[in-house]
Amino acid sequence: MNCYLGIDIGSVSVNIVAVDERGEVMSGLYLRSRGRPMQVILEGLKETGARLGGVTVAGCGTTGSGRYLAGVMTGADVIKNEITAHAVASSLVRPDVQTILEIGGQDSKIIILRQGIVTDFAMNTVCAAGTGSFLDQQAARLGIPIEEFGDLALTSENAVRIAGRCTVFAESDMVHKQQLGHPVQDIVRGLCEALVRNYLNNLAKGKEIQPPVLFQGGVAANRGIVAAFGRALGMPVEVPPHHDLMGAIGAARLAREEVERTGRTSFKGFDLCALPHRTAGFECHGCSNVCEIVEIYEGDRVIGRWGSRCGRWDVL
């Protein structure tokens, strides 16, 4: 049996999936990167290899903000941006999908498709308001397990209006509402609605949102946010079965298409987990830009280098 690997390196997580030739997920891992993506990639690959046993990996694809890092480490057949990977995965789940809402650990995006083609998109990578890390922070401050945060919002019948345009203002507003004596469930529901309002007023502004709508990313596990999106849009919002792994699923599908085109794979195999990997860096003083160059080592060999504006040092 053959399978295809997809690796999605985000801001706070490393997602690794293996899909069979029918597109079914054989193994899926959602791992917190803990600021050490290289180590977590190797740990995830080792666990995936153990799960797959004797299954042959016929191809590998990477995506996400750390896609080049994962790509050079694994010998990926294809390295694609998140927009493409999420659109491909969503089209596999729902071929007629027209709108994709995605909220991850520290960024968010919206993708508009028409007849299976991406026609528009927007990303927010400069502010963490409304993302998973902010929800984690507020859940911890309130003493509520993040797994119960969304369900608590569903018990509220009277949402409190929270300022959601900024994480600092949102937290200050929540503290103020607590001091006034508002119930916690009303504050939590108000926060969910504020985050959805902020998302729609910024990322989705000027975009025509049409059903079917898929909501994916780690935050899609929060039923309070899902319900708030449904109320704000006035239409059903669907959460796919592997909502937190969709980028990796899309990368695996793209890897399959690339291998079918070329007839070969450059995936290094799970043996790479036994090799020492490290990073190093230096400043280039070849011009006034003083670029910061990052090097990726496998043993004593440089397998990747990037960071120069002119491409002088780049090795991919």
Distance of CA 255 to the CA centre of its chain: 18
258 and 287 in a single domain? The answer is no
Provide the pLDDT for residue 311: 85
- The Cα–Cα gap between 192 and 247 comes to 24
120 and 252 in a single domain? The answer is no
Provide the pLDDT for residue 195: 87
Residue 311 lies in a domain: no
Nearest to 81 by CA among 305, 259, 250, 267: 250
155 and 253 in a single domain? The answer is no
- Which mean pLDDT values do the consecutive 10-residue runs of the chain (316 residues) have? 93 93 93 90 95 93 93 96 95 96 88 95 74 82 86 89 76 85 90 88 90 93 93 95 95 96 95 91 92 92 90 80
Q: Which structural domain, as residue segments, surrounds residue 188?
A: 96-239
Which of the listed residues 193, 216, 239 is the one where a domain comes to its end? Answer: 239
107 and 233 in a single domain? The answer is yes
Which of the listed residues 239, 260, 287 is the one where a domain comes to its end? Answer: 239
pTM for the structure as a whole? 0.90
Structure tokens, 132: 């998973």
Q: How many CB atoms lie within 10 A of CB 153?
A: 26
143 and 203 in a single domain? The answer is yes
Tell me the angle at which helices 223-233 and 146-154 cross, rounded to the nearest 10 degrees. 40
193 and 223 in a single domain? The answer is yes
Q: Are 73 and 298 in contact (CB under 8 A)?
A: yes
Residue 71 lies in a domain: yes
124 and 215 in a single domain? The answer is yes
261: CATH: 3.30.420.40
- The Cα–Cα gap between 106 and 129 comes to 8
Residue 316 lies in a domain: no
229 and 253 in a single domain? The answer is no
32 and 83 in a single domain? The answer is yes
Looking at the structure of the chain, the number of domains it has is 3
SS3 content of the chain, % helix, strand, coil (to 5): 40, 25, 35
